Amino acid sequence: MADELKTTKPAFKPAAVKPAVRPSTQPETRDEEPETGYTWRDFQSDQDVRWCPGCGDYAILKTVQRVLAEIGRPPHEHVFVSGIGCSSRFPYYVSTYGMHTIHGRATAVATGLKVVRPDLAVWVITGDGDGLSIGGNHMLHILRRNVDVQILLFNNQIYGLTKGQFSPTSEFGKITKSSPYGSADWPVNPAAFALGAGATFIARGMDRDPNHLATVIRRAYEHRGAAFVEIYQNCNVFNDGAFFVFTEKETKPQAALFVEHGKPMVFGANRDKGIRLDGLKPVVVDLTDGKWSVDDLLVHDETDETIAFLLTRMFDDPRHLELPRPFGVIRAVQRPTFDEVMRQQIERTIEARGPGDLRTLLFSGETWTVM
């Protein structure tokens, strides 16, 4: 057992890849007015935002507000449901309907709400602890049932609200207050978990690329069914730089692969690398040495189960392996949604039997009369 453990890659040390210049709190975003008549400010609540200065949550909040303005549905038709954790304070900060529930259960609350109120746009805000640790079970079931909600999972690979214990997505060997000798927990791979659960929509974005994140969230909104979006979010207090290798310009081009439906998988600072399938294995090829061209590359197909499997399994730390980490919409397929099937059963039964009559029901079965 001990030998096996030694063969694993050394724990990631964020300090090594930290860029020289600290990233600003508010990354640049497009600021043009959407044509819907709403601006992101229409989705700002009157509550003071209480996340730590510099938290990645600010960028995600602003991005979501922007997407809501672009979508153009009035604020009262949206509901944000969250669990517990830093990210789960989110509903207080959007001027829609919202519910800050209990730890891990936002997905279940959202299921009940969406089933009875298909007219609403229901969003689940959760985190790596809320959604994959205490709420892992409900996450599994909302995905397999395909309830028509958007799930934004803020992954910062740490428990922030409880001040810095390792989370189910923390890297193996992570040293925290509750794991001074290194965490013995192997991390869960959220996208692969979602695929295993039968998710019909799986995407990944990052706090520090809001324009890309906006397109992903917009796609999630448009998807009919449970849309699972993992968002890499920097916790600058307890886990600073956990994702800088993917998010900062020095390393991002080599480490992040932005996939698009129907397009070959190209990445690299000069778009000079690609993913090619070697048998059943995705490998990185160089597009500059004349040996391989774009035509040899794997073309992304959001509806292809095998590609979804390959992409979600590309999860190794790119600092130690060649494969980059995929971002964008990894999978998008259609299947009847749970809420729609539940409602259809009711409507069809009423069509077939007529609406229920209470008196008939009460007096049904074998009855007798006493004079």
Partner 1 sequence: MARSDVRIVELPEVTVRIAGDSGDGMQLTGSQFTSVTALVGNDLSTLPDFPAEIRAPAGTTYGVSAFQIRFASSDILTPGDECDALVAMNPAALKTNIARLRKGGILIVNEDAFTERDLQLAGYTGNPLEDGSLSEYELYRVPITRLTQEALAELKLPFKVVERSKNMFALGLLLWLYDRPMDYTIRWLEQRFAKQPDILEANLRALRAGYHYGDTVEAFSTRYRVAPAKLPPGTYRNITGNQATALGLIAASQRAGLELFYGSYPITPASDVLHELAKYKHFRVFTFQAEDEIAAVTAVIGAAYGGKLAVTGTSGPGLALKTEAIGLGVMLELPLVILDIQRAGPSTGMPTKTEQADLLQAMFGRNGEAPVPIVAPATPGECFWMVLEACRIALKYMTPVFFLSDGYLANGSEPWRIPEPEELPDLRVRFATEPNANGRFLPYKRDPDTLARPWALPGTPGLMHRIGGLEKQHETGNVSYDPDNHDFMVRLRAEKIQRIAEDIPPAELEGDPEARLLVVGWGSTYGAIKTAVQRLRQKGYKVAQVHLRYLNPFPKNLGEILTRFERILVPEINLGQLVRLLRDRYLVPAEGYNRVRGLPFTAAELEARMQDILTEGNGHPEGN
Cβ atoms of residues 122 and 152 within 8 Å: no
CB of 223 to partner 1, least distance (A): 20
Closest CA relative to residue 56, chosen from 252, 231, 253, 217: 231
Q: What is the CA radius of gyration of the chain?
A: 23
Cβ atoms of residues 257 and 291 within 8 Å: no
Which of 95-103, 264-272, 282-290, 323-331 is the region at the interface with partner 1 (rule: CB under 8 A)?
A: 95-103
Neighbours of 212 (CB within 10 A): 17
- Told to check if 23 binds partner 1 by CB under 8 A, we report no
Among 49, 92, 198, 266, binds partner 1 (CB under 8 A): 92
- Told to check if 127 binds partner 1 by CB under 8 A, we report no
Which of 22-30, 78-86, 219-227, 258-266 is the region at the interface with partner 1 (rule: CB under 8 A)?
A: 78-86
Ranges within 40-69 binding partner 1 (CB under 8 A): 45, 47
Among 64, 120, 125, 310, binds partner 1 (CB under 8 A): 120
What lies within 8 Å, CB to CB, of 249 at 6+ separation is 19
- How far CA 311 is from CA of 15, 149, 262, 282, in Å, comes to 27, 23, 14, 9
Q: Which one, 27 or 135, has the nearer CB to partner 1?
A: 135
CB of 217 to partner 1, least distance (A): 20
Residue with tokens 């039997």, as numbered in its chain: 353
Q: Which one, 33 or 357, has the nearer CB to partner 1?
A: 357
- Told to check if 292 binds partner 1 by CB under 8 A, we report no
SS3 at position 19:
coil
- Told to check if 98 binds partner 1 by CB under 8 A, we report yes
Cβ atoms of residues 95 and 68 within 8 Å: no
**Which residues contact partner 1 (rule: CB under 8 A)?**
45, 47, 74-77, 79, 81, 84, 91-92, 95-102, 105, 108-117, 119-120, 137-138, 140-141, 342, 345-346, 349-350, 353-356, 358-359, 361-371
